[in-house]
Amino acid sequence: MLIYESKVGSHIENGIKSMKQMAIEHNNHIKTDFNDIEIIVNPDSDINKVIEAFHAEQNRLAKEYTNSPEGQARIKEREDEHMRQIIRVEELWDNQPDFSDLNSVITWLEELEKCSMMNLRKDRIVELFESKGYFACVNCGEDFKEDDKENWARWLIGQALECIQDVGAFHKIWRGMVER
C-alpha cells in the first residue's frame, strides 16, 4: 500500500482522482487521510462511490459531534451569543445617535460594527441614515478633503453605509480609519 499526501486546500474529488491514477500506475492500493478521514483507493475503485463514502463519513462524524455533550454545549453557546447580538442591536436601535453630532454618529457606528451583521436589517439602517442626511459614497475622489474634519467624517460614515448596503458588513479597515 502506497501513501498519497493530501495537499492543504485541495478538493476531495481532485485528490481521489489523483489517487486513482496513482493506483493504476503502481497497480497498488493508495491510502490517505483527508480531513482526518482515512481513504483507500485501488485500481478498480469507483471514484464516485469513494467520494460518496467520504461524504457519508463526514456526515456521520458531524452528527456524532452535534449530539455529543461538547457539540451540544457549542450549539448552546452560539444560540446564546446570537441572542446577545440581537439584544445589542435592538439596544443600539433604541439609543440612536445625535445625528447633528458627527462624533456621536461615528461612535454609534463603532458600536454597531461590534455586532454580528447577520442580526442587522441593513436596509433599515441605510434608510435611517438617509432620512438624517447621511449617504453612502459621499466625499469620494476629488470631493474628499483630508484636512476638513466634517468632510472626513461624512466620508467615513458614507464608507460604513456603503459597506452595510453592498456587503452587509463593515470593511475590515474601517476601524483603522476611525482611529485616524
What is the reported pLDDT for 180? 65
Three-state DSSP at 30 gives strand
pLDDT in tens, 89-144: 889 889 999 999 999 999 999 988 888 666 667 888 899 999 999 999 899 889 99
Q: What is the pLDDT of residue 47?
A: 95
Q: Please state, in angstroms and as integers, the Cα–Cα distance from residue 38 to each residue in 25, 46, 71, 83, 131, following that order.
A: 21, 16, 23, 38, 58
Residue 37, CA distances (Å) to 55, 56, 76, 104, 164 in order: 10, 11, 27, 52, 39
Predicted confidence (pLDDT) at residue 175 exceeds the cutoff of 80 = no
Q: What is the pLDDT of residue 127?
A: 93
Tell whether pTM > 0.75.
no
* pLDDT tens sequence across 68-94: 999 999 999 999 988 888 888 889 889
pLDDT score, position 50: 96
What is the strand order of the sheet 37-41 is part of? 2-3, 30-34, 37-41
Q: Dump pLDDT digits (tens) for 26-50.
A: 999 999 999 889 999 999 999 999 9
Domains of the chain by residue range: 2-67, 99-179
- Residues 119, 134: Cα–Cα separation, whole Å: 22
